[in-house]
Chains A and B, each alone.
Chain A
């Protein structure tokens, strides 16, 4: 874990962002739109252990107190159920303790937002992908400015999954799910940035926009975006 240290010169509101939709545990603090510092842990299943300590460390490194925060932004998913469970529970505890608003940011929106400068330069569409199970990814299509154009879906990646999109122009595939598609995305228009992982840094732009427009999540009822309704099977087996 390393933190980029910067003293806040500005009096911009401080927003803490938490991203746990994938195996990366990640926290960042923004002053308005500007990143002050961030911490990442790239390891499996460490969210529950590390997330709150990482917030503690980052605040400490930036010489800030919890009470200095103006809002908490949390990744709402889609992504790992366990990861999101940890992120959202942690965010709720902080918001309730500090009496500050909760901001929800989509995990795909955050991924897309990080490549907006490149996409704008290339005039490319953005397809962020988060690894689901097997050949499945959570994905949606965004324009070069990071505006989402399609519904968020779980897609089973196949030979021709993105053929039409690729015919229409350059497409940036980003996120840990893009690695699954390397093989099949052998198209000159495909730019694959599968080393771009989901981190809290990518949440800043969306979080700041929502903060400015007071687009807050309802702390009382907020839940992660699971994408899939959970259906358990009602056992019809008669025991006798």
Chain B
């Protein structure tokens, strides 16, 4: 069985379609909605309308680039959730009627599982069981992955996600949205010891990030009172020390989990796994722990349909199909 799957992702503010053959990505088209930048965050109604505008072009291009035609397809996959309802509706309804029109099976995919499974879009995928640190705009999780479709969240954030910690800090400092990639870049030239951000004290494998941005807010407010140009003059150092705290905190918890669960493979996933400092320090951590590190290629870190496709590939092999009554879900649980 070498299924050819068309996958669609529309959970937030990227419209994406990918074609996979036997678990290999033939095309992965991502249309990112730039319209939200000026609002400093995703505006749901605008996101829904832009998915509607883009979906046909994105699917068309994914098919064209893959060298396949719609009659070659064996299944249609879509993100059912979690995400924004209006955004999910466009991808879900399109996928359902497209699969129905072609007379082929439909596969629903959990977006967070897909982030984890992006690690299987590589030539040397992780071996089971492994732990994955999933860090994205809406989630921060340590996931125990027993098998392709058997995962358990063993730790997660109790408030903000890691990506939110980046984006909210960016908002405070007047950086463009999403701020993650911007802070990543600015931090490269900065001093990580500039400000000692507090380490949140949350027991076990859970996280908290909301205190970090509050600390940043007060730190900046105090310093701005003395020097109105404080942010501009120290932007690299502020970013470097803020990012350092996020990354070291994430990895400290992952390390703790790796010791507890005694796994031989560790992975990272989600939009924040595109962060250069996290990628670098994750490698170091794995070396110290003597475990194999796994990091998805950049294009499979932030939201993309390639990861939906690989998740769907494993579901296809397991015979897990959705019916035409499938509807989106906005959050887990």
CB of B89 within 8 A of CB of A86, answer yes
Docked CA distance A96–B102 (Å) = 9
The residues of A that contact B101 with a CB separation of less than 8 Å are 66, 93-94, 96-98
- Closest residue to A57 on the B side, CB-wise? B324
Binds A, one of B53-61, B194-202, B291-299: B53-61
B230 to chain A, nearest CB (A): 10
The residues of B that contact A235 with a CB separation of less than 8 Å are 39-40
A85 close to chain B: CB less than 8 A: yes
Docked CA distance A219–B103 (Å) = 21
Contact pick for B56, options A48, A66, A90, A220, CB 8 Å:
A220
Q: A96-B59, A239-B172 are in contact. List 9 more A-B contacts (CB 8 A).
A: A48-B93, A51-B97, A82-B86, A89-B89, A92-B97, A93-B95, A93-B97, A230-B43, A234-B40
CB of B100 within 8 A of CB of A52, answer yes
CB of B56 within 8 A of CB of A239, answer no
CB of A92 within 8 A of CB of B55, answer yes
Of residues 18 through 52 on chain B, the ones whose CB sits less than 8 Å from some CB of chain A are 38-40, 43, 45-46, 48-49, 52
CB of A90 within 8 A of CB of B96, answer yes
A240 to chain B, nearest CB (A): 5
Interface residues in B, total, Cβ within 8 A: 43
CB of B217 within 8 A of CB of A55, answer no
B263 close to chain A: CB less than 8 A: no
Tally of contacts, chain A with chain B, CB under 8 A: 115
Contact pick for B94, options A50, A66, A89, A240, CB 8 Å:
A89
CB of B93 within 8 A of CB of A90, answer yes
The residues of B that contact A91 with a CB separation of less than 8 Å are 97
Map CB proximity to A onto B151-179 as digits: 1 under 8 Å, 0 otherwise. 00000000000000000000110000000
The residues of A that contact B99 with a CB separation of less than 8 Å are 93, 97
A238 to chain B, nearest CB (A): 9
CB of A53 within 8 A of CB of B325, answer yes
11 contacts between A and B (CB under 8 A): A50-B325, A51-B97, A82-B89, A96-B59, A96-B70, A96-B98, A221-B53, A230-B45, A232-B43, A234-B38, A240-B221
- Closest residue to B224 on the A side, CB-wise? A240
Given A55-B100, A232-B39; A89-B90 close (CB under 8 Å) = yes
Map CB proximity to B onto A223-240 as digits: 1 under 8 Å, 0 otherwise. 110100010101100011
CB of B52 within 8 A of CB of A85, answer yes
A56 close to chain B: CB less than 8 A: yes
A134 close to chain B: CB less than 8 A: no
CB of A56 within 8 A of CB of B100, answer yes
B328 close to chain A: CB less than 8 A: yes
